[in-house]
Chains A and B, each alone.
Chain A
Amino acid sequence: MGELLKERMKQIVTKRQGDHAEIACGKASLAGSVSQRACVFCGSRVVLYPIADALHLIHGPVGCAAYTWDIRGALSSGPQIHRLSFTTDLKEKEVVFGGETRLYNALVSLIDTYKPKGAFVYATCIVGVIGDDVEAVCRRVTKEKGIDVIPVMSEGFNGTKKDGYKIACSALSKLIGTDPVYKAPEYSINILGDFNLAGELWMLSEYYRKMGVNLVACMTGDGRIDDIRKAHTAQLNVVQCSGSMVHLAKEMKEKYGIPFMKVSYFGIEDMSDALYEVARFFKSEEMMEKARALVKEELSRLLPALQPYRAQLEGKKAAIYVGGAFKAISLVKALRLIGMKTVVVGSQTGNTDDYNLLKELCDEGTIIVDDSNPNELSEFVKLTGADLFIGGVKERPIAYKLGLGFCDHNHERKEALAGYEGMLNFAKEVHASVCSPVWKFMRGPTPTLPEGEGERGNHI
């Protein structure tokens, strides 16, 4: 690894017996690196995006809106306003004289046309610099139009993508508690940090429903403004994707006394724990029985179905590079279930606790990395001889070029990967890619000429 940046060495550790070196993380990327990370705006936008009956207006030049137009497969069972792209499309004039009037006019005209239940206004980089008072405009439109218009102060430079999550959480917390009438029934929870990619939330809420648990609000998968208003009435917050939503869970605990638990829905163990923990919380033996029955039923279907995949994947090696480290932890376990070993694992936004957990979980020799880049990743993959890469859109073609299988565990996934059904989909996806015949065809034909005749085909 001679080529690696010296400054980066602290963000990479290899698991070895007796080695207690802690990984450095939560740092801004080094200027000049080909970082796979995004910005504050991106963080806020992905968290709030699935709220389907809200208007999402991006205040800035056109790019930020164009690049985030319908890129996340966060499904809605009803309205689809979130999938359209609205921008104030700022020009030089506004950069000089300010964009508040433009923002006001855009908001009013959009609210009149689309009649949304609420609106989020995202401030992008230059809005922070030209000094538009976005909050004031939002207050004014809230008053005039009678719907909540919530500023999301997500200037791109103002920290990392993780800070964007926090800002999105504060936007949500402005809505929570604004329904004074609703009373949640017994055994009510909120799901935090599921975005209903490929319909995952629908599967999860069905599991909980079968256990007799009522879902008040999901933040933010298949989200609705009015549900979020009622979220303070739930008795428990179940938090997935700790990176993005744990701030909100903490705040709700302080403000409304709602306890929270961190769960993961990927892989059998974590998924089942997510159900048992909820039953344990409500101290209901009946609920626990239902959960056990559900898990038993699901597993009796799933385990035999996994067997053929496991048989072919046994002993294969995987490299993981995803947004949040919490997801990486579940992936390591899920891979184990189908016989695969994790040899590289990293994330864009993990914290020290996450990385310590990963280190504990992984096998000897596993490389653990924070905020990596394509050069490093391709070096690690070569070094470890991985067969599979799990990552997002920017990693896919690199993995393919290296001749590796790939599984998108980011927002471009097409199949649900959460839950029991998701575990089977995951095994299928991994199998489809790792065992694809295409890897056999990387070398073309080599003519075998009799000795001394012509040139030997050494070009491959």
Chain B
Amino acid sequence: MPITLDRMTKGTKGRVVSIAGGRGAVLKLAAQGIAPGMTIEKVGHLRGGPILVKVGQNQVAIGKGLASKVIVRVVTE
């Protein structure tokens, strides 16, 4: 079942299904490797704030609002 990135449990991996945002958000996320089809790992969650994500070797912090627009399907290994 797809969930939003901010609700993903820390330490799990997911495959991005879609981005429910405007063109600007989609472009910015895409350039950091957060695009449909990509596998991402949630590595942290700061209180009241951003979510830390790893895409390959790239580590990115995503504000909570933006993270709630990233729809992922959790990958179970």
A and B part of one assembly: no
